[in-house]
Each structure stands twice: as C-alpha cells, then as structure tokens.
Amino acid sequence: MEAPTTVDGPIPDATELQDFLERARRTLTANDVGEFVKPGLHQYPHQWNWDAALVAMGLGHFDPERARKEVRSLLRGQWLDGMLPHVVYHNGSSDYFPGPEFWQIEQSVAAPPGIHTSGLVQPPLLATCVRRMHRRASDREASLAFVREVYPRLLRLHRWLHHARDPEGTGLVAIVHPWESGTDNAARFVQPLMQVTPSASQMPAYQRRDSDHVAADERPVHADYERFVYLIDRFRRWGYDAETMYARSPFLVQDTLFNAVAYQALEDMIALADELGEPTAELERWRVRLHRAYNSKLWDDEEGLYFAYDARHHQLVRENGVATFMALYAGLADRAQAEVLVGAHLENPDEYAPDARSRFRVPSQAKNNYFYEPRRYWRGPVWILVNWMVLEGLERYGYHDLAEAVRGDSLELMRSGGFFEYYDPRDGSPAGASDFSWSAALALEMLEPLPLALS
Ligand code: DGY
C-alpha cells in the first residue's frame, strides 16, 4: 500500500516525526537563557511579547513549569498602567538595535521600576496561549493556581488596550507603530507610513543592526525603518503618555491582525474567567463591540476582504495581505464571508494558493499585490505563525482538507529547511533568522497529535 501523502510530500513515519519534534524541543531548549527563551539564536537576543507567548505554549508540551516561568518573566515587564511591552530586556544591551537605552522609558510615569523594556505593545496573544497551556496541563492544580496568579495581569492588559487604545469607544483597538502589529513592513502599513514625514533634522542618531545576522534584502527597506525609528523618538519625547500617543501619533491604525488576536484573546479570557469564577461582563462588552466594529468597518464587500483602517486619515488601506484571514482564526467572519475569503482568495493561485511558480501556501502578501516580495520579511514569505492561525481558522469553519494542506506545507518547510523565521513560498527555501523559537514551538502545537492519527 502506498504511504499516505500530504498535498506536497509524503507524511513521515512515526519515528521520523518523533525525531522532528525532538529537534523542535531542542531548539527551544538551546535558545533558553534561563530567564527567558530567545526568539532566535542571533537576531533576537531579548524577550519579545508574542514570541514569549508562543514559546510558552510550545514549552507547555514538555515542561509546563518552564512554560509558566516564561509567562512570569514576560509579565515582569508589564507597565504600571497595564501595557505589556513588546520587548523586555532582562540582560541589558546586546548587538540588537534598539537597545534599552534608546527607548528611555524612564520618561514615563507608568514604566515598571527596575526593568528595561520597550515602550510599545504587541498583538495580545498571551491569554490565548495561557488558556491552551492550561487546557493541556496534566498538573491541574498547579496549572489552575498559575492561571489564578496571572489572570489579573492579563485583565489589566486588555483593559489598557480597550481604554488607552480606544478612548473614543469605537470597538477597535488602535496601534501607533507598525512594530505593534508584529508584522512591521506589511503592505497594509505602506500608505499610513507614507504620511509620516520626518525631516532630516528630526531624525535621531541611530545605527541599524537588523541586517547584521540576516540578509538586508530579507529585512524592511530603509524608508520604512527611518519611520519606525522616528515614531519611537516622538513617543519618548511625549514620555509615552498614552493619551498623547493616541491623539498625536502620525501613525494610527486599527489593524486587522491585531484586532483579531485581541478578539480571540477575549474569548479565551472569558473561558478563563468562567473557570476562576471571575466576572465576565466587561470582557463581553469589549467582545461584542469589537465584533460589530470589525465587520462594519474593516470588511470590504466589493473585494471580499478585510482591510486595516487608517484611523489618522480616515480610510481603509486596500492592500491584500494575509491579515485578512485572521477573521477566520478569531471566528469574526460569518459563513458567507468565510466562503469568499477561502474560495475567492485563499484558494486563488494568483493570490495565496500554489501555482506553477510558487509551491507553498500561504504567502504573507497576496502574490498579485503590488508590494509582494517573496523573501522580504512580511511582504511575502510564508510564516509558520500565519500558517498556524490560518489552519486554526480553517478548522473552525470546517475546511478540514485545506487545513491539513497548510499543516502539511508547514511540516515540509520545517523538516527540509529547519526552524527558520520565514520561508520563500516559491521553493520553500528558509529566510530570516535561524533557530527561530516560535517556529519550533508551533511545530509542537501543530504536529504533536499526528502520531496518534497515524497509528
Ligand atoms: C525587529 O527588530 O525587527 C522587530 O520586529 C521589532 O520588534
């Protein structure tokens, strides 16, 4: 009998798969520097917010106590107002720019005393990962005690998001910097960023270090990077005052991906609150409002896509990128919207499905989008995180075969290329940072059930 096949290659036998998962575990262990797990061996030597959430979820598969430590370490960086920063610098400076000294968070009255962090947030994946860790934990009592311990911190983060970043009560949470989206240079930020126009005299001195370990043509272009740095300079001058940042940041976007992650997190927060016997009315209110606003403001019926909204210039940013599918991940789309997203876009070989020149699902930018570049950071490469979110969404809406195809692609990319930050959708060659922790963590999350399915 022939071996079962995925869309793109043979499924490895159980021993081979076990060996692959062992390599994923070893990647996480090798990046463990004690206080936290580095997102990547060389490129990212500090603790990043959504990386840490995913790493904890991965660690939860084999070392629940270490997983909890990862979450506690991240939460040590939480600001007094609830903001959870996108980077925590537990070990001071390194060869990564920007280091702690660039942020000058001591300008803020809300900065946590005695710990170095950035002054921006990141997609709030943490509650989702904590809930998944808890569901899986075999040491139920320790796990429940941990959830009880961290829940108030998670609640403060979400309260901060729904107040500081939505002071007008629109229902959608705004970001003030592309780094807050976690998908820095995605095409949906090009237009809003073009309106950010620093003069030479307004630019602080800095030296870019992100292409020391990764090829420059796989990283954001200089014009974007200048603006990333300029925005940080504005914020530190404003002492990271949340009201001023919302009112005056030249970049203010209600993002598809960020809000989908925030929405899914609310669902997970409500489940955790139920288990702890905590009230849920506040969470429910944010959830209902976010759902309504997401569909009334971000859905474009003509294109059959969700788009980010430039809240500073009051317009949708009509760029077709993978963030549109996050509505499936979070269950924000209705059945008809899901059919359009999958049938007209995800399955379209000109956009996200394989074609003669491009073997792998799901490029981060539609292939027929003007800004598509198959090896440049968020402009086209396949990301394992995106694949995971897309396959979660496909399963939620009952597209099981397609979900399996995405899982099969992910497995093939990581088995043949190793645990990289991203992959070229044309041939699957790895790109970006090597030994990338969240790819390894998600290998465990996506593939651990497979041996059972094979037996
Ligand atoms: C980077 O340095 O590339 C990060 O995305 C910023 O957090």
Backbone angles phi, psi at 377, to 5 degrees: 35, -115
User: With a 6 A CB cut-off, is 179 part of the ligand 1 pocket?
Assistant: yes
Predicted pLDDT at 97: 93
User: With a 6 A CB cut-off, is 210 part of the ligand 1 pocket?
Assistant: yes
Q: Which two tokens stand for residue 354?
A: 């394989």
CA atoms of 329 and 128, how far apart (whole Å): 12
Q: Tell me, what amino acid is at 391?
A: L
Q: What is the pLDDT along the chain (455 residues), one digit of tens a residue?
A: 333 334 345 567 888 888 999 999 999 999 999 999 999 989 899 999 999 999 999 999 999 999 999 999 999 999 999 999 999 999 999 999 999 999 999 999 999 999 999 999 999 999 999 999 999 999 999 999 999 999 999 999 999 999 999 999 999 999 999 999 999 999 999 999 999 999 999 999 999 999 889 999 999 999 999 999 999 999 999 999 999 999 999 999 999 999 999 999 999 999 999 999 999 999 999 999 999 999 999 999 999 999 999 999 999 999 999 999 999 999 999 999 999 999 999 999 999 999 999 999 999 999 999 999 999 999 999 999 999 999 999 999 999 999 999 999 999 999 999 999 999 999 999 999 999 999 999 999 998 765 433 33
C-alpha 79 – ligand 1 centre gap (Å): 20
CB neighbours of 414 closer than 8 A, spacing ≥ 6? 20, 24, 384, 420, 439, 443
CA atoms of 137 and 145, how far apart (whole Å): 12
Predicted pLDDT at 450: 53
Q: Active-site residue among 166, 184, 268, 412?
A: 184
C-alpha 51 – ligand 1 centre gap (Å): 11
User: With a 6 A CB cut-off, is 50 part of the ligand 1 pocket?
Assistant: no
Residue 52 and residue 73 in contact, taking contact as beta carbons nearer than 8 Å: yes
CA atoms of 79 and 81, how far apart (whole Å): 5
Q: Look up residue 305 and give its DSSP letter.
A: E
Which numeric CATH code is attached to 5-448? Answer: 1.50.10.10
Alpha helices (H) in 173-254, listed in sequence order: 190-194, 222-237, 242-248
3-state DSSP call for residue 132?
Answer: helix
pTM, two decimal places: 0.96
Predicted pLDDT at 10: 56
Q: Is 70 tagged catalytic?
A: no
Q: Is 184 tagged catalytic?
A: yes
User: With a 6 A CB cut-off, is 86 part of the ligand 1 pocket?
Assistant: yes
CA atoms of 86 and 107, how far apart (whole Å): 17
